Amino acid sequence: MINYSYIFQGTAFTSKSVNEITIYKDYLFLVDEDGFIQELVSPKDERYSLIVDECAGRENFYRLKEGQYFLPGFVDLHIHAPQWAQNGTALDLPLYDWLHTYTFPLEAKFANADFAKEVYEDLVSTLLANGTTTALYYATIHKESSYLLAEICANLGQRGLVGKVVADDPEQNPDYYRDEDAKTALLDTEEFILAVNELNETTKQGVYPVVTPRFIPSCSDDVLKGLGELAAKYNTHVQSHCSESDWEHQYVKERFGNNDAYSLHEFGLLGEKSVMAHCNHLEEEDVDLFVKTGTAIGHCPLSNAYFANGVLPLARFLSKGVEIGLGTDISAGASPSLYDNAKQAVVSSRMLEDGVDTSLLAEQRGVKNSRITINEAFYLATAGGGESLSLPVGRIEKGYAWDIQIVDTKVVGNRLPIFDLNEELYDIFQKIMYLVKPENIKEVWVQGEKVHSR
Q: Given the rule CB under 6 A, which residues bind ligand GUN?
A: 80, 95, 99, 103, 214-215, 241, 244, 303, 307, 329, 332
Shortest Å, Cβ 346 to Fe ion: 21
Q: Which lies closer to ligand GUN via its Cβ, residue 21 or residue 305? A: 305
Chosen from Fe ion, ligand GUN, none, partner binding at 151 (C-beta under 5 to 8 Å by type): none
Q: Which lies closer to ligand GUN via its Cβ, residue 7 or residue 81? A: 81
Phi, psi angle pair for 392, to nearest 5° = -80, 65
Give ∠ CA 143-264-84 in degrees, rounded to 5. 40
Q: How far apart are the first and last CA of the chain?
A: 33
Residue nearest ligand GUN (C-beta atom): 332
Q: What is the DSSP letter of 32?
A: -
User: Which residues 6+ apart lie within 8 Å of 195 measured at CB?
Assistant: 147, 209
Shortest Å, Cβ 318 to Fe ion: 21
Shortest Å, Cβ 182 to Fe ion: 22
Q: Which lies closer to ligand GUN via its Cβ, residue 298 or residue 313? A: 298
Tell me which long-range contacts 115-118 makes (C-beta under 8 A, separation of at least 24). Answer: 116/82, 116/140, 116/142, 116/145, 116/148, 116/149, 117/148, 117/152
Chosen from Fe ion, ligand GUN, none, partner binding at 317 (C-beta under 5 to 8 Å by type): none
Please tell me whether residue 443 binds Fe ion under the rule CB under 5 A.
no
Chosen from Fe ion, ligand GUN, none, partner binding at 190 (C-beta under 5 to 8 Å by type): none
Q: Which lies closer to Fe ion via its Cβ, residue 329 or residue 357? A: 329
User: Which residues 6+ apart lie within 8 Å of 338 measured at CB?
Assistant: 74, 75, 76, 130, 131, 132, 326, 328, 381
Shortest Å, Cβ 451 to ligand GUN: 27
- Please report, for residues 184, 208, 345, 383, the alpha-carbon distance to residue 303 in angstroms, rounded to integers and kept in the order given: 31, 25, 11, 21
Shortest Å, Cβ 102 to ligand GUN: 10
Please tell me whether residue 323 binds Fe ion under the rule CB under 5 A.
no
Chosen from ligand GUN, Fe ion, none, partner binding at 210 (C-beta under 5 to 8 Å by type): none
Q: Which lies closer to Fe ion via its Cβ, residue 139 or residue 367? A: 139
Q: Which lies closer to ligand GUN via its Cβ, residue 94 or residue 321? A: 94
User: Which residues 6+ apart lie within 8 Å of 53 measured at CB?
Assistant: none
Peptide bond into 331 cis (omega under 30): yes
Please tell me whether residue 248 binds Fe ion under the rule CB under 5 A.
no
Chosen from ligand GUN, Fe ion, none, partner binding at 70 (C-beta under 5 to 8 Å by type): none
Q: Which lies closer to ligand GUN via its Cβ, residue 178 or residue 241? A: 241
Shortest Å, Cβ 218 to Fe ion: 12
Phi, psi angle pair for 39, to nearest 5° = -165, 145
Shortest Å, Cβ 55 to Fe ion: 46
Shortest Å, Cβ 243 to ligand GUN: 11
Shortest Å, Cβ 240 to ligand GUN: 9
Chosen from ligand GUN, Fe ion, none, partner binding at 324 (C-beta under 5 to 8 Å by type): none
Chosen from ligand GUN, Fe ion, none, partner binding at 214 (C-beta under 5 to 8 Å by type): ligand GUN
Counting beta carbons within 10 angstroms of the beta carbon of residue 221, is it exposed (0 to 12), middle (13 to 18) or buried (19 or more)? Answer: middle
Chosen from ligand GUN, Fe ion, none, partner binding at 380 (C-beta under 5 to 8 Å by type): none
Please tell me whether residue 260 binds Fe ion under the rule CB under 5 A.
no
Tell me which long-range contacts 103-110 makes (C-beta under 8 A, separation of at least 24). Answer: 103/331, 104/173, 104/174, 104/176, 104/177, 105/176, 105/177, 106/82, 107/82, 107/83, 107/140, 107/141, 107/165, 107/177, 108/140, 108/176, 108/177, 109/82, 109/85, 110/82, 110/139, 110/140, 110/142, 110/145
Q: Which lies closer to ligand GUN via its Cβ, residue 80 or residue 237? A: 80
Q: What is the DSSP letter of 329?
A: -
Q: Which lies closer to ligand GUN via its Cβ, residue 74 or residue 307? A: 307
Counting beta carbons within 10 angstroms of the beta carbon of residue 52, is it exposed (0 to 12), middle (13 to 18) or buried (19 or more)? Answer: middle
Shortest Å, Cβ 303 to ligand GUN: 5
Q: Which of 107, 329, 387, 443 binds Fe ion (CB under 5 A)?
A: 329
Pinpoint the alpha helices (H) of 14-162: 47-55, 95-98, 104-108, 113-129, 143-156
Shortest Å, Cβ 96 to ligand GUN: 9
Cβ atoms of residues 279 and 287 within 8 Å: no
Chosen from Fe ion, ligand GUN, none, partner binding at 307 (C-beta under 5 to 8 Å by type): ligand GUN
Q: Which lies closer to Fe ion via its Cβ, residue 307 or residue 317? A: 307
User: Which residues 6+ apart lie within 8 Å of 225 measured at CB?
Assistant: 267, 268
Chosen from Fe ion, ligand GUN, none, partner binding at 315 (C-beta under 5 to 8 Å by type): none
Residues in contact with Fe ion by the rule CB under 5 A: 277, 329
